[in-house]
């Protein structure tokens, strides 16, 4: 479902040269300066602080070299793809969010696996598209592919409860700062998932300490605030978005607590994402949401 087709190499080079010449005039770099009203700055800040804390204090199995590799690959691929897709507007913010989320979640022994995940994440935005939207959340796509390959893993429990609380507050603040559209799907997901955890505990006769412990996963929060709430990969219609959040939560709880897949969350969104274009088709509404125009 590639939106753009490959051009002859010469045309690409000419286009790139023209791009470089006109970069300033066409405000190629303008997006980072749009203003700090963009909620993504807040998201980047909270992800970066969390990553720094995780690396320094929580002993995340992620080396600074891996972090650098993931960030560089993501920004580079975003830049190349922007040019190749002839976008006048290079927007590093969403790539940065994807890359930081990857740094927080994905672990691999070999550096190239992480670099490949980063490339996959960003490239998927440009290559796997439908109705002008990318189908998969970039981070989720890369994690899904890498988990299926068996070369990488995620460590969902590597967070202390205090860190988790701080992150929860930061994530909620981020939701408040951002538009309501993002909040709806994240809150629907969180409410359903947490509701299932407590209902399960009630059914099993378990103490509340168990669902509270199960909630305290950093992966759950990164998932809710930065993956499922990605405006580009959620249904356009509000009711559908809520239904999508609920559906992913039910699937995730099933995979995690019935099929005993510790990465149930990631797989749930990974397998549910291709349904979004169908939901959009069933319930077409005029697209209203735009970041600051031509973001991918």
Partner 1 sequence: MRIPIGLAALAASVLAAASQASAFCGFYVAKADAKLFNRSSKVVVARKDRRTVITMASDYEGDPKEFALVVPVPTVVTREQIRITDNHLIDHLDAYTAPRLVEYFDHDLCAYQNRITLAGSSLPASLAAVPADREAALGVKIEAQYTVGEYDIVILSASQSDGLSTWLTEEGYRIPSAAAPVLGSYIKQGMKFFVAKVNLQEKSRLGFQYLRPIQVAYDTHKFMVPIRLGTVNADGPQDMVVLMLTANGRVEATNYRTQRIPTDVDLPVFTRTEFAKVYKALFDTQIKQDGMTAVYLEYAWNMAWCDPCAADPIPNDKLVELGAFWLGNTSTGRSIRSFGPLNVFVTRLHVRYDGKKFPEDLMFQETADTASFQGRYVIRHPYKGPITCPLGEDYQKLLVPRLVQEAQTLARLTGWEPRAIAESMRNAGQPISVDPARP
Q: Token digits for 99?
A: 């890359």
Does 161 bind partner 1 (CB under 8 A)? Our answer is yes
Half-sphere CA count of 152, side-chain side, radius 13 A: 25
In the complex with partner 1, the residue whose CB is nearer, 70 or 296, is 70
Distance (Å, rounded) from C-alpha 218 to C-alpha 265?
12
To partner 1, the closest distance from the beta carbon of 207 in angstroms equals: 6
Residue identified by tokens 């510790």 is 262
Distance (Å, rounded) from C-alpha 98 to C-alpha 77?
12
**Positive or negative: CA dihedral 192, 195, 196, 197:** positive
Do the Cβ atoms of 167 and 50 come closer than 8 Å? yes
Task: Specify the stretch interacting with partner 1 by CB under 8 A; choose among 29-37, 129-137, 230-238, 259-267.
Answer: 259-267
Q: Which of 18, 20, 49, 157 binds partner 1 (CB under 8 A)?
A: 157
Half-sphere CA count of 29, side-chain side, radius 13 A: 4
Task: Specify the stretch interacting with partner 1 by CB under 8 A; choose among 21-29, 78-86, 156-164, 190-198.
Answer: 156-164
Does 38 bind partner 1 (CB under 8 A)? Our answer is no
Q: Which of 195, 262, 277, 294 binds partner 1 (CB under 8 A)?
A: 262
Q: Token digits for 91?
A: 């927007």
Q: Which of 2, 33, 56, 259 binds partner 1 (CB under 8 A)?
A: 259
Site string for partner 1, 59-88 (x = CB under 8 A): x-x---------------------------
Distance (Å, rounded) from C-alpha 224 to C-alpha 215?
12
Contact positions vs partner 1 (CB under 8 A):
58-59, 61, 107-109, 150-153, 155-161, 203-207, 209-210, 213-214, 259-263
């Amino acid at each position: 479902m590639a939106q753009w087709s490959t051009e002859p190499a010469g045309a690409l080079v000419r286009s790139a040269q023209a791009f470089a010449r006109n970069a300033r005039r066409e405000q190629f770099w303008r997006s980072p300066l749009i203003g700090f009203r963009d909620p993504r700055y807040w998201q980047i800040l909270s992800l970066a602080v969390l990553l720094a804390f995780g690396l320094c204090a929580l002993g995340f199995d992620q080396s600074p070299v891996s972090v650098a590799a993931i960030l560089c690959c993501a920004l580079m691929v975003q830049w190349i793809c922007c040019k190749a897709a002839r976008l006048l507007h290079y927007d590093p913010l969403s790539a940065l969010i994807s890359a930081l989320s990857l740094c927080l979640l994905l672990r691999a022994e070999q550096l190239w696996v992480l670099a490949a995940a980063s490339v996959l994440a960003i490239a998927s935005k440009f290559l796997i598209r439908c109705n002008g939207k990318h189908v998969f959340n970039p981070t989720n796509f890369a994690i899904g592919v890498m988990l299926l390959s068996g070369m990488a893993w995620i460590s969902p429990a590597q967070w202390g409860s205090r860190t988790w609380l701080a992150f929860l507050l930061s994530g909620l603040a981020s939701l408040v700062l951002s538009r309501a559209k993002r909040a709806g799907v994240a809150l629907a997901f969180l409410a359903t998932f947490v509701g299932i955890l407590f209902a399960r505990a009630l059914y099993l006769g378990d103490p509340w300490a168990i669902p509270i412990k199960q909630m305290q996963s950093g992966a759950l929060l990164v998932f809710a605030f930065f993956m499922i709430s990605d405006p580009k990969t959620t249904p356009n219609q509000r009711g559908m978005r809520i239904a999508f959040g609920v559906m992913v939560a039910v699937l995730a709880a099933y995979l995690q607590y019935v099929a005993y897949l510790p990465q149930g969350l990631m797989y749930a969104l990974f397998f549910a994402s291709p349904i979004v274009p169908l939901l959009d088709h069933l319930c077409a509404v005029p697209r209203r949401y735009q970041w600051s125009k031509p973001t991918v």
